[in-house]
Amino acid sequence: MARAVMAAALTLPAALSAQQSERIDDWWSPGQGTPLPERANYSNAGGMLGVFNQAGVLETKGHAFFEPLGSNGRACVSCHQPSDGMSISVATVQRRWQATAGRDPIFAEVDGANCPNQPRGEASSHSLLLERGLFRIGLPWPPRDANGAVIEPEYDLELVSDPVHCNSDSEYGITSATPTVSVYRRPRPVANFKYFAYPRGPGLGFNIKDGTPLDRDPETGYPSTMNIMADAREPTLKQQAINAGLGHLQTQGRLSEAQLKQITDFEAQVYVAQAYNEFAGSFETPSAPDSLGPVAVANGVPGLGDNLHNPVFGFYESWKREDFDGSADGADEFKASVARGSDVFFLRQFWLKDTTHINSIGLGNPLKRTCATCHNARMTGMDLAPGWVDLGTTNYPTWNGPRTFTEDSPLPVFKLTCKPGYKTHPYLGTVVYTHDPGRALISGRCVDIGAITMQQMRGLAARAPYFANGSAKSIAEIVDYYDRRFNIGYSEQERQDLINFLSVL
């Protein structure tokens, strides 16, 4: 019975008991004008996601985050849906395709298609968005700095395969009149930003991992956390909004200061986290761990977590009790499983190996640590330092896909060859095959090939698939990738306990 409960599918509850929150329709269309409640809850495979607006009820009519501002009919909310943890799930994308025959603004050709000149309304043109929830990110080649000056890359870039035909396209590709490298990435959650998106103040101005200068807020001059985007290319929420308007929304010019303020003010006060589970009930009762639910995230204190004294996601002792009521509904066993899963996350050691910006910074290779070594930022599980690392999800041979770089893959494959006189990739050497060069497309450095900034771990159950390239379809596949990558050897119980733990965040 216990194992069956632990592995059971988490079905959806009919109502959110013991929690006074308003249910609203799942999909937010640009310009619909419905007020966003202070509290909203949305069903998902893990139970319910909670969305908390700390500033209270939000009037979305005329609000820059919710209104279409550009030529393609999109708003920010198109790709950052409250029901999907302020990101978007592939299940939602597929439902919108069916409901609108592919005509929803989310499928705008600029980045919703595999390449902008492919036919809208044909599923084959939008295969990466429909199958993995990926949007096209077109980056200039060679890289440019913040002032638009060319950065001479430390590597040569060659296109090996192009199954979606954009990097080889005569209009949009690498050898076009405006050379562009197209990579395909998941939208990151727009929530819980107080933990990682704000300038550090006038203090530490360099990346403690490699000694490079941190990007700075162009208005204040303060160093950035460099954790907002997958490749850390924008230093502030405002800069991200400016360029998202020009790119993703296709505005005719820069958003106004008033619009930018509305967007960033909203992003600064919205919090998301799982709020309810069929077995465990509401996460906002006195007996629940005090770090669960969106209000707990809103009230938390940013900083560095640890394994024992100040755990990243708090303590789960209340769910380890031996005096559960023994009911047959699975509640006791599920809570105990989550508590064991927290111990796996914080206490189960394994050997980290060959991971750039972790093992390569003088800590040792291999290095015996826990999940929380890298996922160390309080409440979010990001990396408090600038968090780009080469976990291996995009680089051969550890990428989450075909075992050889010549096999068919839905993603493009690039061959990067480090030039003489520069540091090569620490573990893959001079030649690297990759689906996405990551930070290297911004910095131009060989050492950064494949490095992607860690995402936060709140609301995971609401926004599958996972990893920047959408290669893990479920939380179970996240755990399985780490297990393979680092040869951890989780037992079946450890694996399921960790899955259940991640599902309640």
Query: Which pLDDT score is estimated for 170?
Result: 97
Query: Which pLDDT score is estimated for 25?
Result: 56
**Over 60: is that where the pLDDT of 3 sits?**
no
Q: Average of pLDDT values for 447-461?
A: 96
pLDDT in tens, 264-282: 999 999 999 999 999 999 9
Query: Which pLDDT score is estimated for 400?
Result: 78
pLDDT in tens, 147-196: 999 999 999 999 999 999 999 999 999 999 999 999 999 999 999 999 99
Q: Residue 19's pLDDT band (boundaries 50, 70, 90)?
A: very low
Axis crossing angle, helix 492-503 with helix 331-347, rounded to the nearest 10: 100
**Over 80: is that where the pLDDT of 323 sits?**
no
**Over 50: is that where the pLDDT of 2 sits?**
no
**Over 80: is that where the pLDDT of 404 sits?**
no
Q: Residue 205's pLDDT band (boundaries 50, 70, 90)?
A: confident
Rg over CA atoms, the chain: 22
Residue 369 backbone phi and psi in degrees, to 5: -150, -170
Q: What is the tally of helices (H) and strands (E) in the chain? A: 13, 14
Q: Residue 322's pLDDT band (boundaries 50, 70, 90)?
A: low
Query: Which pLDDT score is estimated for 23?
Result: 37
What distances in angstroms separate CA 481 from CA 188, 452, 487, one per listed residue? Answer: 20, 16, 10
Residue 311 neighbours by CB under 8 Å, 6+ apart: 305, 342, 346, 372
SS3 422: coil
Query: Which pLDDT score is estimated for 210?
Result: 86
Query: Which pLDDT score is estimated for 123?
Result: 97
Question: How many beta carbons lie within 10 A of that of residue 264, not counting itself?
Answer: 19
pLDDT in tens, 350-368: 999 999 999 999 999 999 9
Q: Average of pLDDT values for 455-471?
A: 96
pLDDT in tens, 216-226: 999 999 999 99
pLDDT over 70, % of the chain: 91
